[in-house]
Amino acid sequence: MKKNTYNAIVSYVEIDNPNEGLLSGWDVALKDNINMKDTKTTAGSKMLENYTSIYNATVVDHLIAQGANIVAKTSMDEFGMGSYNFTALTGVVKNPHDVHRITGGSSGGSAALVAAKHVRMALGTDTGDSIRKPASYCGVVGLKPTYGLISRYGVIPYAGSLDHVGVFTQNVKDAALSLEVLSKKDPKDMTTHDIFKPYSALLDMDLKGKKVGIFKNVIDVITDEDVKTVFNNLVKTLEREGAIIVEKSIDQTLTHTLFPVYSIISNAEAITHHANLDGVRFGLQVEGDTLEALMTNSRSAGFGLQVKERFIYGAYVLENENQFDIYDKARKVRRLLVESYAEMLADVDVMIAPAATQIAPLMKDINHDPKTNDMYFAENHMVIHNFSGYPSMNIPMGTSNEMPLGVNISAKAFEDDVVLAFANQVEKLVEGEI
172 CB contacts (<8 Å, ≥6 apart)?
141, 203, 395, 420, 423, 424, 427
Neighbours of 342 (CB within 10 A): 13
Which element (helix H / strand E) includes 406? strand 403-410
What gap in Å lies between CA 307 and CA 302, rounded to an integer?
10
Q: Which are the catalytic amino acids?
A: 31, 106, 130
| CB of 200 closer than 8 Å to CB of 375 | no
Query: Rg of the Cα trace of the chain?
Result: 21
For 390-423, give one letter per residue: b (16+ CB within 10 A) or e. bbbbbbbbbeeeebbbbbbbbbbbbbbbbbbbbb
Instruction: Phi first, then psi: give them for residue 195, nearest 5 degrees.
Output: -125, 115
Alpha helices in 116-169 (DSSP H): 132-138
Q: Packing angle between helix 258-273 and helix 373-380, nearest 10 degrees? A: 60
Closest Cα to residue 297, out of 312, 286, 289, 311? Answer: 286
First to last CA, the chain: 35
Neighbours of 301 (CB within 10 A): 14
| CB of 11 closer than 8 Å to CB of 40 | yes
What gap in Å lies between CA 143 and CA 172, rounded to an integer?
9
Beta strand ranges found along 42-174 (DSSP E): 69-74, 121-126, 141-144, 164-169
82 Cα distance to chain centroid? 11
Judged by DSSP in three states, 88 sits in coil
Determine whether 139 is exposed, middle or buried from the number of CB atoms within 10 Å of its CB (0-12, 13-18, 19+): buried
260 CB contacts (<8 Å, ≥6 apart)?
330
